[in-house]
């Protein structure tokens, strides 16, 4: 189970009999549902948006506005793929009105992710995709499940705070709530793994919750300043089943 699907990297790189994949971002889940249902037909439909003439600032902003205005789920999902590949750094960001507002990326030739979409479609036959926040998703955990949580990360500094991935954000209280729910699931015999930045606050939070912490470094490239792109400390907090 993944309550914070994001790119669904864990789902795509593991081999369980069944998956429950959830996210609070409805646009992301709509895309996953559309890709699971239609497969090749939907992939070809998305490809039409990757014409060279659409790699243009004015067209990008026109299509971004269409994405924010349309009620057609199929069209919106295809536009979501286009925006992800043409916006700055692939950054999925929304304003206070819930409108996608990532700027144009100015890439020479954005690549259409055909192979990745085909792989996702084939893999999705054993998965259920739901739009839900993590408390609702975790209520569906059953004996034998493994839960991996990749929530919006605790900021490394006061200036790096970013929770606009989906409207509503993710507060410190949400971080605490997630740990408390992980503790309860571990007491029921269910393993929960949570990833986050390796900060003093996150280490204290997870240690207080009884988790075993594994730390490591990863390379990040989301910063707009090259000098700020480098190795960043992250951790995995493992809540082991009781007994």
Domain boundary among 104, 125, 146: 125
Encode pLDDT of 222-240 as tens digits: 544 545 557 889 999 999 9
d(CA 239, CA 207): 10
Q: Are residues 121 and 137 in the same domain?
A: no
- Work out the mean pLDDT of the chain and round it to a whole number: 91
Residue 177 in any domain: the answer is yes
What is the pLDDT at residue 24? 95
- Inside any domain, residue 230: yes
Please answer whether residues 185 and 192 qualify as being in contact, where contact means their C-beta atoms are separated by less than 8 angstroms.
yes
pLDDT at residue 205 tops 80: yes
In a domain, 184, yes or no: yes
Q: How is residue 166 annotated by DSSP? A: S
Q: Which two tokens stand for residue 128?
A: 């259920």
Query: In the listed set 125, 148, 164, which residue is the last one of a domain according to the structure?
Result: 125
In a domain, 16, yes or no: no
Domain end marker among 70, 96, 125: 125
In 10 A of CB 240, how many CB atoms?
A: 14
Asked whether residue 80 falls in the same domain as residue 169, the answer is no
In-domain check, residue 4: no
- Cβ count within 10 A of residue 242: 11
Answer yes or no: do 111 and 142 share one domain. no
End-to-end Cα distance, the chain: 22
Please give the model's pTM, rounded to 2 decimal places: 0.89
Range of the structural domain that residue 165 is part of: 132-239
Q: How many domains does the chain have?
A: 2
Q: Are 193 and 148 in contact (CB under 8 A)?
A: yes
Q: Tokens for 70?
A: 């349309």
Q: What is the pLDDT of residues 161-204, one digit of tens each?
A: 444 444 457 899 999 999 999 999 999 999 999 999 999 999 99
């Amino acid at each position: 189970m993944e309550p914070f699907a994001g790119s669904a990297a864990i789902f795509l790189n593991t081999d369980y009999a069944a998956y429950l994949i959830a996210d609070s971002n409805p646009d992301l889940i709509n895309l996953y549902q559309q890709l699971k249902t239609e497969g090749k037909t939907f992939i070809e439909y998305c490809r039409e948006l990757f014409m060279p003439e659409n790699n243009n600032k004015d067209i990008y902003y026109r299509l971004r506005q269409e994405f924010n205005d349309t009620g057609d789920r199929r069209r919106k999902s295809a536009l979501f793929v286009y925006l992800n590949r043409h916006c700055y750094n692939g950054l999925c960001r929304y304003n206070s009105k819930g409108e996608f507002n990532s700027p144009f990326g100015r890439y020479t030739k954005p690549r259409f992710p055909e192979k990745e979409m085909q792989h996702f479609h084939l893999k999705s036959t054993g998965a259920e995709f739901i739009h839900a926040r993590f408390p609702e998703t975790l209520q569906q955990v059953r004996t034998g499940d493994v839960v991996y949580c990749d929530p919006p990360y605790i900021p490394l500094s006061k200036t790096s705070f970013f929770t606009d991935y989906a409207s509503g954000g993710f507060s410190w209280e949400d971080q605490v709530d997630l740990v408390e729910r992980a503790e309860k699931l571990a007491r029921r015999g269910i393993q929960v793994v949570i990833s986050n930045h390796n900060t003093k606050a996150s280490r204290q939070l997870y240690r207080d919750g009884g988790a075993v912490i594994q730390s490591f470094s990863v390379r990040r490239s989301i910063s707009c300043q090259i000098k700020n792109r480098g190795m960043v400390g992250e951790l995995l907090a493992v809540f082991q089943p009781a007994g």
